Chain A
Amino acid sequence: MVKNFKQFLGVEWIEGTGDFIKIDEIKCIGCANCVKVCLADCFEIVEKKAKVKNLDKCMECASCWYVCQEEAIIFTWPSGGTGYRCDWG
C-alpha cells in the first residue's frame, strides 16, 4: 500500500516500514526537542514523555535522533523497499 498526503506533494510512503523509530520511556525527559524539529509531526508529549504518534509521513531525516540529548530515541532504517519515495529530490 502506498500513502500520499496533501501537504507533502510529490512524495509517496510505502507501508511496511516496521517501528523504525522508538522511544526509551525511561530515558526520555519530555524536553520536546523531537517535537520541535519533526516536520512530519511524528511525535507528541503525553504525561511529560515523548511518544511516537505515527511514522506515516516520516522522511527518515533523523533530526529527532540527533536532537535527543538523553539518547532516548532509537533510530534505525525502515525495512527494505518501504518508507518515503520521491522523484524530485
Chain B
Amino acid sequence: MDEEFDVIVVGAGFGGPIAAKICAETGLKTLLLERSENVGDKVISGLTIPFYGFLFGPDFIRDGNPPFERPSDGIINYIIKDIEKGDIDIDDSLRVPKPFSPIIAFGYNTYCKPFCEWEVKKAVDAGVILKKSTTVIDVIREDGVIKGIITDKGEQIHSKIVVDAEGSKGLLAIKAGIRKKYSPQTISLADIYDYTIPKEKIDEIFGYSVKMCWGWDEQKIAPPLGHGNGLMVWPYRNSLHFMQDQCLRLNGDQIPNLTKLFKIYHHNITDKLPWWKDLVEPNVELRARMWAGFEIYVGLDKNLRAMSNHAAGMLLIGDAAGLESTELCDGVPAAWFSAEIAANVAIEAINANDFSKQFLSKYDRLIKAHPIIQWSISGRNRFDLRIAQKEHNLKNLKKYIHNGWGLGALSHFMSSFFQIFLSYANDDPLVIIKWIKMFFRYYQNWLYESYDYSKKPITKLNSKKLEKMEYRFQYLLRLMDTLFHSLHKKRKGISLILIPLSNSVNKFMRGVLPIFEPIYSLILRLLQPILNKMGNKVIKFVRFANPIIFKTRPEGKI
C-alpha cells in the first residue's frame, strides 16, 4: 500500500472505529487496520457496557440502534461465607426500581463481536478504509516523529497521525517508546464460559439482573481474585456469560497456578452454588470456553497512571492507554470517550499541520480532565475489598461490595457523573430528551431484536388508547424540553449553586445514604404492587408504541 493517509487507526475493537469514523466524517483520509480475519474475532470479554458510556459517548451510538443482548437493571451480590453449609448473604440494593426498570437500564449486556461489527460498519459508511488480516508490528519514525506503521507483510504505510487502539497488551505503544510493559500485579486473567439457555429460563432465573459472587479464598468458589474482583454471570438474550478472573500476582505473592485453580473454582461453582446447581445447571449447554487478559489495575499505580498517552504523531486510546476501569473492570466507556477526544485532537493537529509532542499533549490534558475516565481508572474500592477478603473481615467486605456493586456506589460515583452531566446539559439542554428517548428506543429494539443492519419489523398497534399514550409521552417530553431550555437561559445563576454542589455530592451521599437507604427500601417494598402495575403498563406501551416517537434523528423516520 503506497498511499499516504491522514490518520491510521490500529485496531477495530470498541474504540478504534469511533476515532476512525469521526476523522473520516471531517473528510480526512482514514485507514482502520485490524489483525483478525473478521472484525470482532479476537475481542473477548464479559460485558455490561455501563449507561454512562452511552449517555456521554459518541452521539451516533446514543442516537442509533446498536445490537446488544439484554438490558441490566441491577446487581445481585452473593456473599458466600460457607458454601458447604449454604451460608450466603445477599446484597441486591443496586437496582433500578419499577416502574423505570428495565427501560431505564444501568447498562447493556453485549457480545463484543456484533457490537464491534456495528461500529465498524458505521465507520466504513462514513468513508473509513478497512483493512483486515493485517498485524502492525512497528511504527515508522522519522526525526523523532511517528509517521506511520509497518505491517507483518513488510508494508510501510505513512500517515500524519497514528491512533493506537490496539487494546490491552499495547505492544505498539511499547515499540513507539510511549509506555512500558506492565507488572503482573496490574493484570487480571479472565476465564470465560458461554452457555446457551432458553430465554424464558433466563427471564425466570435472572430477569435483568447480573449476578456476582464473593467469598473467602478457601471457599474456592469465587477465585482469590486480585484486588477484590468476583465471579460474574451476565444474562444475555438466549445465553449466559460466565467469568471468573484472577490477578496474575498480588503484591509480593507467588504467581498462582491458574491452570489448576480455575478448574477447581469452576467445578465448585457449578456443583455447589445453590442457584447455579438447582436452577441453571439443568438448563444450560456449554457453547464456548475462552479467556483473556485485562489490564484492569493499571490505574491503581500512580506512576503508571501518569504515563504519557501520546508521542509526536501518535495517540493511544482505550485499553492501549491503560484506561481499563479499576472499579468496574470495564473498558468500553473509557475507550469511547478517549476515541472521541483523540479524533478531535488529531483533526485539530492536521488542520494546524502540527504533530509535535507539545501540540498533541492537549490529548493527555483532556483525558486527565475527564471526570468519568479519571474516576473509573483510579477508584480504590476493589483494592480495599481484596484486603477485606484476605483479612476475613466480613463487615468491611460487605461495606466494599455495597460501595462498589450496591447502592453505596452512589457515594463515590455521583460527583463525576454530576460534573459531566452538567457539562453536557450546559452545551445543549436538548441532550436530556435524547437520553430519555435512547432508553425507550433501546428497550423497544431489544424486544424486537430490531437493530441496524439486522432489522426486524417492530409491531405497531393501532388503538385510540395507545395514540393517547403516545401523545402524552411526546407532550411530556416537550414540556421537559421547555423547562430545560428555560433553565438553560438562567444557567449562569444556577451554575453558582450546582458546580460547588457537584463537587461535594459524594460527600453528601455518604452522609445521607445510611438514613435514606432503609427508608427508600421500605417505601419500595410498600409500594411494590402499585409500582409493578405501573411498570407493566409502561412496558406494554413501549412494546406497541410507534418507534418514531423514540427516534432522535430525521433519518430514523419510518
Chain A residues with CB under 8 Å of chain B are 7-11, 14, 33, 35-39, 41, 59-63, 65-67, 75-89
B526 near A: Cβ within 8 Å?
no
- Contact with B259, one of A14, A39, A84, A89 (Cβ below 8 angstroms): A39
Q: Are B135 and A88 in contact (CB under 8 A)?
A: no
**Chain B interface extent, by class:** 35 or more
Chain A residues lying within 8 Å of B42, measured Cβ to Cβ, are 60, 83-86, 89
Instruction: Rank and list the top 4 A-B pairs by shortest CB-CB distance, nearest first.
Output: A10-B288, A81-B133, A89-B44, A85-B41
Known: A81-B134, A88-B239, A89-B290. 16 other contacts (CB 8 A): A7-B289, A14-B37, A35-B259, A61-B189, A62-B293, A66-B187, A67-B248, A76-B137, A77-B35, A80-B35, A80-B134, A82-B37, A84-B41, A86-B42, A88-B290, A89-B192
- Contact with B262, one of A39, A60, A66 (Cβ below 8 angstroms): A39
Q: Are A87 and B293 in contact (CB under 8 A)?
A: no
A69 CA / B113 CA spacing, docked (Å) = 34
Q: Output the least CB separation between B112 and chain A (Å).
A: 5
Cβ contacts B22-62/A at 8 Å (1 or 0 each): 00000000000001111011111100000000000000000
A81-B289 contact given A39-B191, A67-B184, CB 8 Å threshold? no
Q: Are A8 and B135 in contact (CB under 8 A)?
A: no
B126 near A: Cβ within 8 Å?
no
A88 CA / B286 CA spacing, docked (Å) = 11
Q: Are B262 and A67 in contact (CB under 8 A)?
A: no
A10-B289 contact given A89-B43, A89-B112, CB 8 Å threshold? yes
A79 CA / B35 CA spacing, docked (Å) = 8
Q: Are A80 and B111 in contact (CB under 8 A)?
A: no
- Contact with A66, one of B43, B137, B184, B292 (Cβ below 8 angstroms): B184
Among listed B250-258, B398-406, B425-433, B470-478, interface-contacting one: B250-258
B153 near A: Cβ within 8 Å?
yes
Chain B residues lying within 8 Å of A85, measured Cβ to Cβ, are 36-38, 41-42
Chain B residues lying within 8 Å of A7, measured Cβ to Cβ, are 289
Chain A residues lying within 8 Å of B293, measured Cβ to Cβ, are 61-63, 66
Q: Are A81 and B36 in contact (CB under 8 A)?
A: yes
The secondary structure that dominates the B interface is loop
Q: Output the least CB separation between A41 and chain B (Å).
A: 7
A37 CA / B202 CA spacing, docked (Å) = 33
Q: Are A87 and B113 in contact (CB under 8 A)?
A: yes
Q: Are B290 and A80 in contact (CB under 8 A)?
A: no
Q: Are B287 and A10 in contact (CB under 8 A)?
A: yes
Sample of 27 A–B contacts (CB below 8 Å)? A10-B194, A10-B289, A11-B290, A37-B259, A38-B259, A39-B191, A39-B291, A59-B290, A63-B187, A66-B184, A75-B169, A76-B171, A77-B135, A77-B171, A80-B132, A80-B135, A81-B132, A82-B37, A83-B36, A86-B41, A86-B42, A86-B44, A87-B41, A88-B288, A89-B40, A89-B45, A89-B290
Chain A residues lying within 8 Å of B38, measured Cβ to Cβ, are 85
Nearest A-chain residue to B37, judged by Cβ: A81
Chain B residues lying within 8 Å of A37, measured Cβ to Cβ, are 189, 248, 255-256, 258-259
Q: Output the least CB separation between A38 and chain B (Å).
A: 7
Q: Are B289 and A66 in contact (CB under 8 A)?
A: no
Chain A residues lying within 8 Å of B468, measured Cβ to Cβ, are none
A36-B257 contact given A9-B286, A86-B41, CB 8 Å threshold? yes
Q: Output the least CB separation between A78 and chain B (Å).
A: 7
- Contact with A88, one of B184, B262, B287 (Cβ below 8 angstroms): B287
A37 CA / B181 CA spacing, docked (Å) = 17
Q: Are B181 and A66 in contact (CB under 8 A)?
A: yes
A10 CA / B151 CA spacing, docked (Å) = 29
A76 CA / B482 CA spacing, docked (Å) = 56
Chain A residues lying within 8 Å of B113, measured Cβ to Cβ, are 86-89
- Contact with A78, one of B44, B112, B132, B135 (Cβ below 8 angstroms): B135
A77 CA / B35 CA spacing, docked (Å) = 9
Chain A residues lying within 8 Å of B362, measured Cβ to Cβ, are none
Nearest B-chain residue to A35, judged by Cβ: B259
Chain B residues lying within 8 Å of A78, measured Cβ to Cβ, are 35, 135
